[in-house]
Copies of this chain bind each other. A is one copy, B any other.
Amino acid sequence: MAKLRLSHLRRFIPLLDWGRSYGWNAATNDLVAAVIVTIMLIPQSLAYALLAGLPPQMGIYASIAPIILYAIFGTSRALAVGPVAVVSLMTAAAVGKIAEPGSADYMMAALTLALLSGGLLLLLGLFRLGFLANFLSHPVIAGFISATGIIIAASQIKHILGIDASGHNLWELVLSIAGKLPETNPFTLVIGVAAVGFLFWARRGLKPLLMRIGLKPRPADLIAKAGPVAAVALSTLAVWGLSLAERGVQVVGSVPQGLPPLTMPSFSLSLWGDLAAAAILISVIGFVESVSVAQTLAARRRQRIDPDQELIGLGAANIGAAFSGGYPVTGGFARSVVNFDAGAETPAAGAYTAVGLAIAAMFLTPLIFFLPKAVLGATIVVAVLSLVDFTIIKKAWGYSKADFAAVTATVIITLGLGVELGVTAGVLISILVHLYRTSRPHMAVVGRVPGTEHFRNILRHKVITEPRVLTLRVDESLYFANARYLEDIVSDLVSRQPELEHFILMCPAVNAIDMSALESLEAVNHRLQDMGVSFHLSEIKGPVMDRLERTDFLTHLTGRVFLSQHLAAKALGSNGIADRNGSD
């Protein structure tokens, strides 16, 4: 009994699993990775909080408790959980509808959003409903993330110009920025442009430079990833030394020192109702992104992750964020890759990162008083532009027009109408496109290839047919979206062939027949009977046949069920004779 409970606990708390074999070697590797990730996360956390419209310290708080909770409940060994760009923007979009940025209500709504998405993720995980996230098509997500990246970059231009602008979609942002352009602060602009330039260069040029001066590739890579920290330090010093804050350069200002506070999200049902839709979208997008990162990293070490347990890990992380001054979090791509590359072996690396960030929150916040917001904006712009990749559209155009339509619509709606409508439209369109694609399945009237037992499309091959027997092959599972189409096609074919006596439906690729399709088959059987034509089936798959045998369809069937099309043609046709006569 005790043993059963422990294994049960272990399923839900992977820490109990890897914790038992945790040694000094792994601990050292984890510590090194944690130091590197901590340095990278400080500016990033501040910046994403700014993007979400929240005070900068909430970005750091959102990385502390969530990281520790994910380390306990998550299954990925390398995933680093915290604020990420897309979720920060979605938080701003959702919370901005309810309260003014900067107000206490706004912060409360952000905490509550974290609680709701955390609760939702946890419930999905406990009920093992992770598959629901699979109902998002990859190209739609890729298009959504790219479009969101553009909106995020556009939303940060105001910080780089030192103006006040806002908007929920690209159109509003561009108009708003264009209107305020004359108010640009030249000092801010110089700092912002310099920071963007430096950060882009640090991404591409710093690593080769460091290697040229003798560093090995891996450390060079990791130091280059700390570029944002250098930008933060240098620009803060410049603003302080040159007293640029007095010249209108906006700075972060005073950030409270101390550990994350204990916060209480709202339990107001009306606020929950207002945030519910956003919480669903944020949970799903966050989960999908996180799982994809975790799976990619796990594969590199032949490990595996459990998507349902990931839901529990991310759910716990978000609930933790709600009670410790954070906002919705998920597994970030950039930080997880850095963590992995820096050698993190277990989730303990995440716990050490949390300790590092807690130390930063306690002692380092006075140092960033003069940090210009333009540099945080530049950090975001450079980070999110790497998310933007519209090659998916070109790829979809070449591969599948249906996917092309879905991804293009998602991108246009996200850019033009905002993130929430964009992702909702993307989900609906990809489902509709799938239904459309399977609603008109490939069907072919087939005939026998002379001298063989093979049956092929009469439009593509020279085959033998006869007016008394017609065989239609269906190349798709039959279900509600294509059941009536089948009825239409059969009516059409049969009404054109007045001598017809036998109609055979050949089903070698029919993996399932749902109840709608079963009713359509019954209708076809009935209607063919009214026309004096008998209805036969051939090459039904085993599991499909098992199901049909549980109904009375087969007893009403006017014709027979044949194991193979060859047997059907032999039993019903005079093909043998036609063949011998050389008829076509």
Contact = CB atoms under 8 A, between A and B. Distances in A.
Interface stretch (A62-70, A90-98, A357-365, A477-485): A477-485
Nearest to A298: B491
Interface stretch (A17-25, A218-226, A543-551, A574-582): A543-551
A138 B437 CA distance: 19
B515 A131 contact: no
**Which of A135, A303, A475 has most chain B Cβ within 10 Å?**
A135
Given A491-B304, A531-B302, A515 B134 contact: no
Contact of A442 (B134, B431, B543): B543
A77 to B, nearest CB: 13
B439 A134 contact: yes
B485 A131 contact: yes
B302 A495 contact: yes
Contact of A531 (B299, B396, B399, B511): B299
Contacts of A488: 307
A306 B514 CA distance: 24
Interface in A519-546: 519-520, 523, 526-528, 530-531, 541, 543
Contacts of A298: 491
B299 A134 contact: no
Q: Is the interface of A mostly helix, strand, loop or mixed?
A: helix
Interface in A474-524: 475-477, 479-485, 487-488, 491-492, 494-495, 498, 509, 511-512, 514-516, 518-520, 523
Interface in A293-335: 295-296, 298-300, 302-305, 307
A430 interface: yes
Contact of A551 (B399, B439, B484, B516): B399
A411 to B, nearest CB: 14
A345 interface: no
Contacts of A399: 515, 518, 547, 550-551
A10 interface: no
A573 interface: no
Contacts of A395: 515, 551
Given A295-B527, A488-B307, A543-B442, A138 B515 contact: yes
B511 A551 contact: no
A555 interface: no
Given A509-B509, A550-B399, A137 B440 contact: no
Contacts of A547: 399-400
A441 B511 contact: yes
A128 to B, nearest CB: 11
